[in-house]
Copies of this chain bind each other. A is one copy, B any other.
């Protein structure tokens, strides 16, 4: 049939009241076998399906959860979103997705919209969890929510990588490989609390390991022509032996830029990334990086929201230090102790060609 049969149509065709139809279809309350039969026949004939809109109005619940992330072009977010979406689907919830493109205004509007749509909960990765208009709105409405990738300000729920600790671990790894002078490369430093936390963790880690404070290079564009930035950066800091990039894409772009500048990676410059996207294993040299589990984080955050809605006990959160691990790779090369002129000795093969596999 063409247009949307309603419960009234079904009732009329079955020759009963709407209440009976509702009871039969929802299996709530009694109904005679014969009536049940008639109702089901009518439903079948009319191809009837309940309107969720009517239901939502009545039940004050939409079985919909909003999800706001910067962009799903980044596989980290894509994986997390998909993980959450699966959890929602299995629980009978749908997901409204909005990508902010890292824009705080879009972020605020998105959250406002989701609130107006009466979503039952929201899953948020905001630009800055310390001052987010949208987050404030969510709080004031007491809407079930969970932060994702953002570090929670106070006792709030969040599923995040331990950015600070992970970045400190990167400093440890640089130190273990005798690097003293490193740089930190950040995209969107101002608009991302994650990048800032990674920077702070890295600075602390460098200090702890008696390394020089890392030089900071901030880029704002999407880094196609990272080459010019890198040239200037290395010119200003000629003694750098390693760069920690705030995410894997940036790290890969840096490797390519270095190649354009005829700088050998890792022989002349080591690179470490953050996120652990699969691609890092496919490139040459393979990318040393912090590996995270975005899908699990997304799923966990999704479950948290569901438990908030249902009042059930929330899922166990992994301890801050088990949400990441360091993955060795050819892009990080050890320097000889107390010298940085020559880097022939490799703890990890700079190639992932198995014909050269050493381990």
> Hey, which bits of chain A sit against chain B, CB under 8 A?
1-4, 47, 49-54, 56-57, 62, 64, 71-73, 75, 78-79, 81-82, 85-86, 89, 94-99, 101, 106, 110, 112-118, 140-142, 252, 256, 259-260, 262, 279, 282-284, 353-355
Contacts and interface: CB of A to CB of B under 8 A. Distances in A.
A62 B118 CA distance: 12
Contacts of A98: 85, 89, 94-95
15 contacts: A1-B140, A52-B118, A53-B53, A54-B57, A72-B81, A72-B82, A73-B79, A82-B99, A89-B98, A89-B106, A94-B113, A96-B96, A262-B354, A282-B282, A283-B283
Contacts of A99: 82, 85-86
A73 B53 CA distance: 31
Nearest to A101: B86
Contact of A97 (B3, B54, B62, B85): B85
Contacts of A94: 96, 98, 113-114, 117
A66 to B, nearest CB: 9
A259 B351 CA distance: 12
B86 A52 contact: no
A97 B89 CA distance: 10
A96 B64 contact: yes
A18 B26 CA distance: 34
Q: Pick the most buried of A99, A101, A140: most chain B CB atoms within 10 A of its CB.
A: A99
A98 B81 CA distance: 10
A142 B112 CA distance: 31
B53 A262 contact: no
A282 B354 CA distance: 19
B71 A82 contact: yes
